[in-house]
Amino acid sequence: MNERWLGMLLLVGILGCRATVAGDPNRPIKIEAHLTIDVRQIKEEAHSIEDMVSGGGSRAAQKPQSRLGEWFVPFAWAEGLSPEVLQAVNSRKDRFDQLKTYKSQGLIGEDNQGHVAALGGGPEVQSLVDAENRDRETIYQGQVREKGLPPEAIATVRATFAQEQRERAESGEKIQLPSGEWATK
């Protein structure tokens, strides 16, 4: 069904609804609404973005063989990402190897909020952690904004990206479990 018909059907459904209020008209009405977020969509987006950052995963297998195709693929991968989010992804990609080195040395770990934490090292490690977390937060806020989610959905986005990072962590790297406990994968 195309979007036009879907929109018309939705409009007819809304117009066909009638709300009535019972009770004292001089007292405020309390309305409770529950929001359901499709975490599968966020998980797929987290997987795609992390593939772009690492340059690996399933995206690498989809790279075309022609030079022309190689030129267009990054744009196809970035479809739907705002320029701000795309810049954050590219910045993360630029520091990916250094981050992996510090993770393998136990100086940086993946926390349970989708960020990295300095677990040792000096100012250089902390500077890398700060830059990485700024870019990750830009991506998470972009996901909320681009998907039209309410601000409180940021916790779900962070947790989903954190799960993706835990799954991608290599043996010997530090990860923070959802409970808050740090472990070595």
Q: Spell out the per-residue pLDDT of the chain, length 185, in tens.
A: 444 444 444 444 444 445 555 667 777 766 665 555 678 889 999 999 999 999 874 433 333 334 444 444 344 344 578 999 999 999 999 999 999 999 999 999 999 999 999 999 999 999 999 999 999 999 999 999 998 999 999 999 999 999 999 999 999 999 999 999 999 99
- Domain-by-domain residue ranges, the chain? 38-184
**Where is 176: in which H helix or E strand?**
strand 174-176
pLDDT of residue 96: 97
- Looking at residue 36, what is its pLDDT? 59
Question: What is the pTM for the complete model shown?
Answer: 0.71
